Structure 1
Amino acid sequence: MDTCTRAPVVVNPVLRHDKERRESLDGNWHFRLDPEDTGLAERWFEHGMFAEEIQVPGSWQGQGFGDTTLETIWDFRLDVRALRATYTGTGWYSRRFTLPPRWQDARLWLNFGGVHPTAQVWLNGVCLGENHAPFVPFGFDVTDVVHRTGDNLLVVRVSEDDRAMGMAFNWQGNWSGLYRGVELTATGPSYLDQLWLHPNVDAQQMVVIASVGGPADALGALTLDLTVQPLSAQAEPINVELHFTSACAQVEIPVPDPLLWSPDAPNLYRVDAVLLSEGQVLDARTERTGFVKLSSDGPHLLINDEPYYWRGSGDFLSNPETAAPDTDRARWRRKLQTLRDYGYNHVRCQSYVYAPEYFDAADEVGLLIQSEMGLLGAWSGHSQWHVYQWPQPMPDHYDALRWQWNRVVERDVNHPSANMYCMSNEYGNTAHYPRIAWKGYHETKAIKPTALIIWTDGGYHPDMPADFINSEAGSNRRGDSSGADLPLIQHEFRWWSSFPDVRNIRKFSGAIRPYGAQTALEAAERHGTAHVLPQAAANSQWLQLIEMKGKMEACRRDNPTMAGICHFNAMDANPSPQGVIDEFYERKVADAATWCETNGDTVVLSSLGFDDRVLAAGEQRSVTLFVSDFSHP
């Protein structure tokens, strides 16, 4: 029986080729918790008779499966009920389906967009395999297992084995589940496995690397019809035919004067690929990409050879609607456009990576995303077993960390927004795992040549791989005297927080509870001061804004050659309301135009120190004004 696992696979693509054969299994599934973990021994996979109903995609705790006990939010060490329900343990899903009649003679695949923490999958009582990488979409060849007529029973067991591999997925509670879509796809005997697009700005060409699977003796008859065209302008499509003599083939497609992708002009191209054998369509796929070149010139980071000021935000998996990574593209388009409106052009995902739907929206609005899959050890919080960087790439974890890292880079290879990668958090100036770091650097560049890569966010060492530095602006740029001439982004500036806003409790109708505001409210009620909380939140937000504005402008003024600032954060992160906007990406006190006076391409800066901005009646100040200008063009 052939149960060949594929990873990464494409699930829920933003564009779908009209010759693709793809059916969603999303929606209502049956579900059962297994707190005693007896389901395997009792062979639940043979019947899948679970009484509860659950929605896929989603997390089960976010849908109310569990109890009302407390759990510890691992960096703040708060004991709260963060999600609609609390449960750490095993859960089982089941669903029945029938094949479309037109698929009776096809090769068939069962694909999962993402499961956290660990998945074990059965179809019609046959174990297809497991997945131990929560960030990676995976699939199985089910051609010889599926029933061509009648019902098929699909059962998935989700267990705790690889929760550490989800890293900061767990920042706001231990959620679990099938958090992205599940799909059936059909192909011919040969199929298109991977399709990597490498737009080359300088050469004005699209390098296409395609790999196929299937019978080796069929390779000589395979061709891949490729069509390249911009999405945002009328242009004649460029058509190329690629022939296979081995399982992997490459072609360079000239694209004269390509429309470039940048935060200011996020132009995208559509690439259609159809795999044929003697005129018969075997498989098809549509991908999007963008022509973007990231580079540096001394202290400056460049996009398409123009200097840009990196105006970044951290993100702590703030998805109050879902807890798990949100897969609603429309919601992400609105949220990420809000970030762009407030001047941000970069997001750092702190020790995790979002789902592809997030990158689809980032591609469209013009945001560069820094993904962090913990190759050298992720920010995983505090416990009696580990502090901060964990799991580290020791022999018991390295293979799994490396496999997940590379598969995620492959997953996102065609996204122009997915062009920054970081291997760890805050290793400072100590070189940890240099051989692993350099191997990861070169493997990433081989998959994604345009990517900017750093070994740690929050440190520098001359022997470690870094295309830029993310560290403290006041530490002589790099914390040592190596003389390295690399762009510097100010690290995590600066965690200013307002008071938890009880007025926002009404907004929390999804998977995550307003546990920060609820904690403040419960404490205030014990002391009879609950009535002051709304005004306390409002006043503290104005004070927070004043400090954010004054100190971010001072950092930019005092470090005129700095490449950018990563503001921690643009958005609130329950239970730490540290953003200029809230968790729902809605305004607190400053509108977008006001904040862009601090966080824009061009900013007027004052020579006044922060404390000098408080004046008494009759006092005078002499002020020098500066202009920091990174406008485009």
Structure 2
Amino acid sequence: MIATINLEGIWEFQLDGEKQGFQKSLNDTIALPGTTSYARKGKRNQAAHEGSLTDEYEFEGWAWFSRTVDIPEELASSNVMLYLERTRVTTVWIDGVELGTQNTLCAPHLYNVTGHLAKGVHTITVRVDNTNYPTKGGHMTSRDTQTNWNGITGRMELQFYRAAYLDEVRTFPNIADRSVTVKAKLIGASEGVLSVSAASVNSTSQHEAAMRTYPVSGSEFEFIYPLGEDALLWSEWAPNLYKLKLELKQADAVTDVHESLLGLRQFKAEGGDFTINGAKTFLRGKHDGLIFPLTGFAPTTVEEWLEVLGTAKSFGINHYRFHTCCPPEAAFEAADRLGIYMEPELPFWGTVTDETYENHNETEQQYLIQEGYRMLQAFANHPSFVMMSLGNELWGSKERIDNILKGYKAYDHRPLYTQGSNNFQFVPVILEHEDFYCGVRFSRDRLIRGSYAMCDAPLGHVQTGPQGTMKDYDDAIIPQSLDSVDSVNKETDGGTIQIQYGTEAKTVKADAAEGELVPHIPVVSHEIGQFQIYPDFNEITKYTGPLKARNFEMFKQRLEEKGLDHLAEKYHISSGHLAVESYKEELEAAFRSKHLAGFQLLDLQDFSGQGTALVGVLDAFMDSKGLISAEEWRTFCSDAVLLARFPKYNYLSDERFEASVQLRYLRPVPLSGFKLQWELKAEDLPLASGEAIASVSGSGEFVDICQIEFSMPSVSSMTKTTLHLRIAGTDIRKSYELWIYPNHIEVDKSGVSLFEELTDEAAALLEQGERVVIMPKLKQLQNTIEGTYCVDFWCYPMFRSISESMNKPVPVGTMGLLIDHEHPLFKYFPSEMHSTEPWRQIVENSRSIILDGTDKELQPMVQTIDNFERNHKLGMVFECRVGNGSLLVCVLDAEQAGETVEGRQFLHSMFHYVRSDDFHPQANLELSKVRELLA
């Protein structure tokens, strides 16, 4: 390329929603690059989407953009390309002459306009259509993510070349001999001479390769350029880059210069592991759907992506999976500079078909296949582009999918390929030409993540109740006894199965795999987490761009209508802290699994669509919610994670505590003779301590450090302690909360009028001014919600609807507890405002009464947080004045709860409270209302 003319600036413009055609006099102007919505063009959208953000200037149809350009004489005879970095379906005219249409969603639109731009002024017209797609486009066009925008983003320019120039330059690094193989096309000449040089950038040490010259001939050529024995390698730990420069000469005159970034690296699948330059790595991934609420489209500058990816990296992330989308080039360059492993995905979420399928669409299939080649051509030179997926949760022809993989691998062996993310769901397969497997299970019960939707049951261990930190997925990945595992999905019926398909349900063919599926390639756990957090309504004011949080406004209004808006911030904080603890267990279970090669979170940040899934510890802007710091998150999500494995969190005085301490070490620098220090503390009081010495030789090791054994100290009251682990002289640390209870806890019910229902006797006692406790039989109650410890999965409205459409049980849909922890009820059962492990078995043996319509003064001491669709006022434990008496209602199976030490401790505290002078409820309820609530 010898020159460019920047086309950014003001263009004439007109919306054409009815697709009437070009008007000679366009009636408006717009700044490009940008989108029609970002420029606030068109009719204002009055809709309010409950399940996603609302585009205030949503537009679908044709948009016309036109401007003049003055071509100087010295460029008039050049070869010319019109480059539009990112857009939709475009058609281009120059001076009224139509030059063609392009429809890639993932790669730049590049038009050869040679011969149409002589010296002087010319008019360039571009029509952008955001309706006529060959495929639905996944998250490239989804309203749930970056929206189905219309416009042109990123670089817009005319690129000028001399008669001879280079095209399709591809670089293939070879770490064995520290060289790079360059493949390219020579256009406009049959031969030439290349001068090649390379110098390191983004490195702490400098290195420059010797310049070499290569004669080239023919339309396609390749050569090997040595970088030198001391050339720097690229990895997540040392993202060393080279600026590679190719100068094409004809008769000693430079006719073209091509510059690109090069990373010398080898990302491989070796057995069940990923390696980078021979060192094992573990993918700590996150999902990305190109959600950018301030613009509604993905950024195209390296600086913006450095901020986004840098935030993720500060939380220990080293891998990005782009759900049915591909980011712009700036994202790959930022990942190159930060050392993040990127996995773009074809923009497809559906069924891959061939001619044997009734609804086969060969045009769509060919488009998607070609889109993959366009992505490889545009971005695969980036060292960060290490993986590629064919789509999300695909079904259909396994033969066609495998054949597509085969073609891609023959064309470009640099990335590793997978058939897709969680393909075939309940009946997964591993295909011949895929390099790694990404999914959530290997059969119905062989689960490799900790949480699932009810429609995908069975649920995961985080939802059903870990009593400690022993869980891993090794036996689910490679079973010790294949005979004990279901190899065929039990829910198939006549060769079909119902699955979750996007935000709906779908019936598909279910070809069960023959025999037991045992992976021989790396396994990545798909979309782990999805722990919902109640909305933070303070976030609404942050939506200053074209996307508005009208969904948040709807949720806020619902809460206000229920008279619970004063609790919104507490709901957010309490559900958020429980979600953080759930993520900790989810991630640690992954790190504990030796046969797992990585995970992909859904997500570190909120997902604004698909029902509004507020599942992140960061909001949609990648800003912290204040629930956990990046430093603390890295204690369980980084390249060095300490793991203490013990069976439970609750202990009696003098009970033996045993834990094995392990280290999942993924750093390249050995740790020889490191010292592990551990200490059990109650606040600042040391209770037990010790140390151990161990060694680790390098990345990928799973080190058994030591066994911790001691007797818990004797306590006279329930005591929260923290087990601290630290490797001396490093940033590697971990902590776990443990609870100790006094021995011989007595549940003393004496002096308490205890009933299972509101009998006439109970009513009479209340009228006489007595104290009454009602612990109703759970099965007798109608006006209640089931007790569950974990926060709701993903988003209640979406999965309620899916479960209903599949005729499966709907999710419970609650989001942990809001505890009035300073209330005297908890004098002998000290608690946080949010759910913690002492509450797990208590909650699982409880229900919560729906208290809608009761006075604001009736504030349960233990309230279950409901989701933003229902917003029920839910009371597990509440108190009130009834007539002259005092009533406490606790909806708990005392017999079941009493089988645990924590349950007995809670009941002990509750009955002590009822007998104490502190028991004097402030809220009033009529006897008839109490009868109604307990019906």
- TM-score band (shorter)? 0.7 to 0.9
Change (3 A) 1:551 1:419: closer
Q: Aligned partners of 2:6 and 2:653: how far apart in 1?
A: 68
1:90 maps onto 2:62 in alignment: yes
Matched residue, 2:270: 297
**Deviations 1:204-234 (CA, angstroms, capped at 9, x unpaired):** 21100111222xxx313x2222212221343
Matched residue, 2:4: 22
Matched residue, 2:711: none
1:572 counterpart (597, 600, 606): 606
Q: Aligned partners of 2:432 and 2:571: how far apart in 1?
A: 46
Matched residue, 1:477: 477
Change (3 A) 1:596 1:226: same
Shift of 1:599: 0.4
What are the within-5 Å matches in structure 2 for residues 358-377 of structure 1?
A: 358-374=331-347
2:48/2:551 contact within 8 Å kept: no
Q: Secondary structure, in 3 states, of the residue corresponding to 1:504?
A: helix
Matched residue, 2:370: 403
Q: Secondary structure, in 3 states, of the residue corresponding to 2:80?
A: strand
1:596 maps onto 2:566 in alignment: no
Matched residue, 1:212: 186
Amino acid at match of 2:255: L
Shift of 1:342: 0.8
Shift of 1:608: 4.2
**Deviations 1:480-501 (CA, angstroms, capped at 9, x unpaired):** 6244422211121121121122
Shift of 1:264: 1.0
Q: Aligned partners of 1:616 and 1:506: how far apart in 2?
A: 49
Change (3 A) 1:249 1:341: same
2:211 counterpart (215, 236, 239): 239
Q: Secondary structure, in 3 states, of the residue corresponding to 2:111?
A: strand
Shift of 1:503: 1.7
Q: Aligned partners of 1:591 and 1:365: how far apart in 2?
A: 20
What are the within-5 Å matches in structure 2 for residues 187-586 of structure 1?
A: 187-214=161-188, 218-220=189-191, 222-231=192-201, 232=203, 233-255=205-227, 256-374=229-347, 378-379=348-349, 394-427=361-394, 432-459=396-423, 460-472=428-440, 474-475=446-447, 476-477=476-477, 481-557=516-592, 559-574=593-608, 575-586=612-623
**Deviations 1:301-351 (CA, angstroms, capped at 9, x unpaired):** 111111111101011211122222211321210111111111111011011
1:554/1:605 contact within 8 Å kept: no
1:311/1:599 contact within 8 Å kept: yes
Q: Secondary structure, in 3 states, of the residue corresponding to 1:417?
A: coil
1:130 maps onto 2:101 in alignment: yes
Amino acid at match of 2:77: D
Q: Aligned partners of 1:204 and 1:494: how far apart in 2?
A: 40
Q: Secondary structure, in 3 states, of the residue corresponding to 2:41?
A: coil
2:87/2:152 contact within 8 Å kept: yes
Q: Aligned partners of 2:350 and 2:58: how far apart in 1?
A: 19
Q: How many residues align?
A: 584
**Deviations 1:47-68 (CA, angstroms, capped at 9, x unpaired):** 3x32322232222223323434
1:625 counterpart (640, 646, 661): 661
Q: Aligned partners of 2:3 and 2:329: how far apart in 1?
A: 20
1:333/1:361 contact within 8 Å kept: yes
Once the two structures are overlaid, the 10-residue window that deviates more, 564-573 or 274-283, is 274-283
Normalised by the length of structure 2, the TM-score is 0.59
Change (3 A) 1:477 1:141: same
Matched residue, 1:5: none
**Deviations 1:134-193 (CA, angstroms, capped at 9, x unpaired):** 112122222321241134343334341117353211133322221232111111122211
Matched residue, 1:3: none
Change (3 A) 1:84 1:71: closer
1:188/1:281 contact within 8 Å kept: no
Amino acid at match of 1:240: R
Amino acid at match of 2:567: V
Q: Aligned partners of 2:621 and 2:571: how far apart in 1?
A: 20
Change (3 A) 1:72 1:468: farther
Normalised by the length of structure 1, the TM-score is 0.86
Matched residue, 2:497: none
Matched residue, 1:58: 34
Matched residue, 2:152: 178
Q: Aligned partners of 1:514 and 1:115: how far apart in 2?
A: 25
Q: Aligned partners of 1:194 and 1:594: how far apart in 2?
A: 45
Amino acid at match of 1:564: G
Q: Secondary structure, in 3 states, of the residue corresponding to 2:305?
A: helix
2:126 counterpart (127, 151, 155): 155
Shift of 1:594: 0.3
**Deviations 1:445-498 (CA, angstroms, capped at 9, x unpaired):** 344322110002114424443211112364432876244422211121121121
**Deviations 1:39-87 (CA, angstroms, capped at 9, x unpaired):** 1xxx43xx3x3232223222222332343446797xxxx4666223122
Change (3 A) 1:534 1:55: farther
Q: Secondary structure, in 3 states, of the residue corresponding to 1:343?
A: coil
Q: Aligned partners of 1:436 and 1:461: how far apart in 2?
A: 14
Matched residue, 1:37: 19
Larger relative contact order (Cα-Cα within 8 Å, sequence gap ≥ 6):
1
Amino acid at match of 1:416: P
Once the two structures are overlaid, the 10-residue window that deviates more, 121-130 or 546-555, is 546-555
2:591/2:641 contact within 8 Å kept: no
Q: Aligned partners of 1:87 and 1:71: how far apart in 2?
A: 13
Q: Aligned partners of 1:352 and 1:156: how far apart in 2?
A: 23
Higher Cα Rg, which structure: 2
Q: Aligned partners of 2:262 and 2:95: how far apart in 1?
A: 38
Q: Aligned partners of 2:263 and 2:19: how far apart in 1?
A: 47
Shift of 1:536: 2.1
1:210/1:248 contact within 8 Å kept: yes
1:146 maps onto 2:133 in alignment: no
Change (3 A) 1:26 1:494: same
Q: Secondary structure, in 3 states, of the residue corresponding to 1:606?
A: strand
Q: Secondary structure, in 3 states, of the residue corresponding to 1:230?
A: strand
Shift of 1:551: 2.6
2:402/2:433 contact within 8 Å kept: yes
Q: Secondary structure, in 3 states, of the residue corresponding to 2:477?
A: coil
Change (3 A) 1:165 1:509: same
Change (3 A) 1:28 1:619: farther
Amino acid at match of 1:154: T
Name structure 1 gaps, 5 residues minimum.
1-18
Name structure 2 gaps, 5 residues minimum.
448-475, 479-486, 488-514, 670-935
Amino acid at match of 2:293: P
Change (3 A) 1:295 1:524: same
Q: Aligned partners of 2:52 and 2:281: how far apart in 1?
A: 42
